[in-house]
Structure 1
C-alpha cells in the first residue's frame, strides 16, 4: 500500500443475509455501496485486502473529460457533479479541485489529434480550448519546452486518491453499509440458476444481487464462473515528490511526463509516454483483440517476459468453494515500480520545467490497471448469471469516473432509472 493511504477501521463481522453484496472495496464498489446505503438498501462490501489499497489509491488523481471517447463523456460529466458535492456528501474534504488539466503538443501531429478530438465532441459543449505557445507560457510559467500548442479544460480537476475512497467508505458505513476487509469471496451461490448469495472464506452470505467491482481481479473471478472478460493487465509506475515550489496548480500532461499538485505540496509524477506490459499467458491468448490500440500506442509499451509470466502460470485459477482461492494468496496487488521509468519522467520534466530540478522523491509505487480492447469499462448485468452485475475494466480511468460509475451500477442493481445511458458499457459489445 502507498504510504499516505488512509486506513479504514471496519468491524468485519459477516452477516448471514443482506440485499446486495459488492465484491471489491475500490472507489467504484464503495460508491455503489454509498449510493445503496443512502437509498436504505441493505448492502455488504467484501474486500479481500483493504479498502482502496490497489489502483483506487495508486492512480494519478486526475478527474478529466479531455481526450475521452465521446460516448464516455456523459459518465465523466456526471462524475464532475458528484465530485463537486462529495466533500459535503461524506462530511470530509477529499481535496477535490477543478484546477484544470492541460495536454501539451510538441508537434503538428499531436496538435492535430487534439483538434480532431475537440471537433468530435463539439456537440457536448465542453469548456475545452486549444492553447497557443504563448498561452501555455502564461498558464504554466518558467518552462523551457518547445510546445506548438495544447488543449486545456478548466473544469477538469483532481482529488486525493489516498483519502477519497477511505472517506467514502466511512460515510457509507455511517449510512448503514457493512464493509468487511481481509476477506475474499470465493464463489457465487446459485439457486435455480440465479444468484442467491456468495461464499466467502468466512462462510456464506445470502443475498438477492451481487455487484462485482473487483478491478483487475474481476477477470479471474468471472472466468471461474464460466464468463470470459477480455481484459489485460498493464503496470504503471508513479512517484511523489516532497513538498516543493512548482510552476502551477494545473495538472499537465506532456508526451513523456505528467505532473499534478499533491495535497501536501509535492507533485505526483509519471512517465506518460511509457507503460509496462509484463507478459502473461492472457497477453498471448487475447492480445490480437488489442491490435487497434497498438496502432496508436505501440511506442508507449515496454514489453517484458520474465518471472511475472511464470508466477501467473503457477497461480491456481481453479478452486472449490471450501478451499482457499487465489484471492487469499494475494491480498493486495503490489507490483514493483520501474525506477528507470520514473527517472525518465523526472529527466523529461526537468528539461521542460527547470523548477523540478529541486524535486526530491518521497515515494514511488507501481499500480496494475486492467485494460479492455476499447478502453471503456463494463457496467452491466450478466445474462448468463441472473442477479450478477459487473462494473470493471476501467482502463486506468476508474478514479475520475468512480462516483458516477458506482452510482450507475447501484441503479442497475436496484432497478432504478440509470444515471446516464448505460449502452456504451454493455457486456454484449464483445
Structure 2
C-alpha cells in the first residue's frame, strides 16, 4: 500500500546530527520527517567512544564545538535524560617531547577560543593523576570537557524528536530524491512518497551518493571504530584520556566499567557492517594496561564496532548545497561528531529558517572539494576515494 507525506523538511539519516536537527526544527514550528534505513542512532552516533571533547579539534571546528558545549549540560531539559553526561575533564597525554611541543603549540593557537587548556609536566601528572603509568612526559588538560553514553544520547534525541511531533521513520531507506518545482520529491521504504521544501543530507557514511546525485561528489570514505568495555572495577581513572598523535583513549563510567578504544575493525562482505579484530581488541587492552597499571587484571567483557564516514581533511561537510537550493549537507565527521552534533543540529535548523547562521561554517563547505573532483574526473582515477590518514582518529 502506498502512502504520501508532505512536510517542510525531510532529513535523511537518523543519527545524532539528523535527530538533533529534527528536534531543533520542530521547536521552530517546522513539520519534519526523519528517515533512517535502519534504527536511529544505530551507526556512528551510537557506537562511538562517547568522548565529549573540544580539545584536539581543528581550530576551524572550535566555534561550532563551543556552541555544542553549551548544549550538553542541558540534556535533561532538552531530551528528558542526562545521557550519563559527566564533565570529567579531558586529559591529552604526550609520549615524548615532540608530542608535548605539539600540545604546547595547540594551547597557544587556541588561547582565545575559551578552552582554558592547562599544560601539565611529568611531575604534575604524577602528583595529580598517579594512576597513569610511566612512558608519558606531560599532558594538556581541558577541565570543561567530559564524556557521555552514546547509545543513550543518540536514541534520546530521536525519541525527543518523536515526542515533539517529528515523523520518525525507521527501517525506511530513501531510494530516491529529486528536485521538484520549489521543493523535493522522495521515495522511501515500501511505497512511501514524500514532498518537502528542504532536504537535509545527514546520512553519515551513506551521504556520498545523495550529494553526488546533485552534482557534488566528495571523497567520502568509511572507517570502522573498534571499542572494548571492561567489567566494573574500582575507580581507576578520573578523567577522559586521549593521546597526542593517536592511539589509546579511555574513560571510566560511574558504574565502574571502562570504555577503551584505539583500533579499527574490519568491514564485512557488506561494507555497511564490520566486526572487531581479535588482535585489535587484544592490542587495545594491552596498550591500556601498559599505560594504566590498574587495568592489568581487569577483564574485557564486550567488543563492538560501527561505520563512520570520513573526510581526508578531518573536517565535515556542513552547509548549503552549491548546486541545489533547499538541499543542506551535514556528514563526514571522521570519528569526531559526537560532541559537536547538538550544535550542528541547531546550525542546520537556522540554515532552514534563516538561510544563514552566526556560527562560522565556511571551512566546511562542500565546495572545497569541487576542484579535486574536477581533477579526478579528468584523470584515470575517477571515482577512487582517498583513504583518510592516521590523523583521522576514531574517537569523538
* Shorter-chain TM-score range: 0.7 to 0.9
Q: Equivalents in 2 of 1:337, 1:195: separation in Å?
A: 42
In the alignment of these two chains, the number of paired residues is: 365
Residue aligning to 2:187: 199
Deviation at 1:276, TM superposition (A): 6.2
Deviation at 1:233, TM superposition (A): 1.3
Q: Equivalents in 2 of 1:232, 1:78: separation in Å?
A: 27
Q: Equivalents in 1 of 2:176, 2:149: separation in Å?
A: 33
Residue aligning to 1:231: 220
Listed one character per residue, the Cα deviations across residues 57-81 of structure 1 (whole Å, up to 9, x for unaligned) are 1111111111111111011110110
**Could you say what secondary structure the match of 1:256 adopts?**
coil
Residue aligning to 1:51: 40
Residue aligning to 2:386: none
Note the 1:367-378 alignment, pairs <5 A: 367-378=306-317
Residue aligning to 1:89: 78
Note the 1:9-408 alignment, pairs <5 A: 16-192=5-181, 195-201=183-189, 202-254=191-243, 256-262=247-253, 264-271=255-262, 274-275=263-264, 333-408=272-347
TM-score (norm 1): 0.80
Q: Is the 8 A contact 1:197 1:210 kept in 2?
A: no
* Alpha-carbon spacing, 1:44–1:17, altered in 2? closer, same or farther (3 Å): same
* Alpha-carbon spacing, 1:219–1:205, altered in 2? closer, same or farther (3 Å): same
Deviation at 1:220, TM superposition (A): 2.5
Deviation at 1:368, TM superposition (A): 2.1
* Alpha-carbon spacing, 1:246–1:342, altered in 2? closer, same or farther (3 Å): farther
Q: Equivalents in 2 of 1:59, 1:391: separation in Å?
A: 18
Deviation at 1:204, TM superposition (A): 0.9
Deviation at 1:125, TM superposition (A): 3.5
Q: Equivalents in 2 of 1:138, 1:61: separation in Å?
A: 27
Q: Is the 8 A contact 1:27 1:399 kept in 2?
A: yes
Q: Equivalents in 1 of 2:297, 2:27: separation in Å?
A: 46
RMSD of Structure 2 on Structure 1 (CA): 2.0
Deviation at 1:416, TM superposition (A): 5.4
Q: Is the 8 A contact 1:372 1:395 kept in 2?
A: yes
Q: Is the 8 A contact 2:265 2:276 kept in 1?
A: no
Residue aligning to 1:324: none
Listed one character per residue, the Cα deviations across residues 179-204 of structure 1 (whole Å, up to 9, x for unaligned) are 01001111113224x54221112321
Deviation at 1:263, TM superposition (A): 5.1
Q: Is the 8 A contact 1:378 1:426 kept in 2?
A: yes
**Could you say what secondary structure the match of 2:339 adopts?**
helix
**Could you say what secondary structure the match of 1:45 adopts?**
strand
* Alpha-carbon spacing, 1:385–1:238, altered in 2? closer, same or farther (3 Å): same
**Could you say what secondary structure the match of 1:77 adopts?**
helix
Q: Is the 8 A contact 1:142 1:353 kept in 2?
A: yes
Higher helix share: 1
Q: Equivalents in 1 of 2:283, 2:235: separation in Å?
A: 19
Q: Equivalents in 2 of 1:59, 1:14: separation in Å?
A: 35
TM-score (norm 2): 0.87
Q: Equivalents in 2 of 1:44, 1:54: separation in Å?
A: 19
Deviation at 1:269, TM superposition (A): 0.4
Gaps of 5+ in 2: 370-396
Q: Equivalents in 1 of 2:338, 2:319: separation in Å?
A: 19
Q: Is the 8 A contact 2:79 2:160 kept in 1?
A: yes
Residue aligning to 2:376: none
Gaps of 5+ in 1: 1-12, 279-306, 313-332
* Alpha-carbon spacing, 1:35–1:371, altered in 2? closer, same or farther (3 Å): same
